[in-house]
Amino acid sequence: MRSALKKQVGVILIGLMFFSTIGFAVGQSFFVSTPNTVSHSININPIINYTLSTLEYQELINNGITIMTYEYGEKCIICEDEKRILKNIIFSEKFQKQTNIQINQIILEQIKSGSSKYSKFQISSKFLNATTYPNQIVIINNITEKNVENVLCESVLYNLNC
């Protein structure tokens, strides 16, 4: 009689473990997450003409987007040429979407700031080497296609052309 009772308890425990595993799997299927997607509240056009909020900036960086920030003044003489260079880089084949993971890997944030005749340019990415670039930000003083592409090749996750 004790043997029959032990068998029944054993079968109940095995059944309980089996059905709890099935229940867990079914429960998890309702909570599927989508990795590396940017919130729909953020405009992800490749070129924006405003300053991103801190929340937008952090969300984009955390989701693997490289942000190029270009600040220029009204009296800047070479700024139109620099903006053209940056725009050409973003839309070049080298940095176009290489996979189906993300729509845009690079965003250019163009900010008009005052009447200065100078510009400031930086690239921010979580893929930049933290040892070489402590804040994972690179400031580029001489905006040339080569200088910008060299940094972008280090900062873009899906790039097969560098």
Q: Would you say residue 150 lies in a domain?
A: yes
* Same-domain pairing of 51 and 24: no
The parent domain of residue 65 ranges over 47-155
Q: Would you say residue 10 lies in a domain?
A: yes
From the list 81, 80, 88, 132, the residue with the least C-alpha distance to 106 is 88
Q: Supply the CATH number for residue 116's domain.
A: 3.40.30.10
* Same-domain pairing of 127 and 57: yes
Tens digit of each residue's pLDDT (9 = 90 or more) over 79-132: 999 999 999 988 887 776 554 444 578 899 999 988 888 899 999 999 888 778
pTM of the model: 0.67
Tokens of 8: 């029944």
The pLDDT value recorded for residue 37 is: 46
* Same-domain pairing of 144 and 90: yes
Contacts of residue 57, Cβ cutoff 8 Å, sequence gap at least 6:
67, 124
Token pair 């919130």 in the structure block, residue: 39
- Report the relative pairing of strands 47-48 and 119-124 from DSSP bridges: unpaired
Q: Is the pLDDT of residue 77 over 80?
A: yes
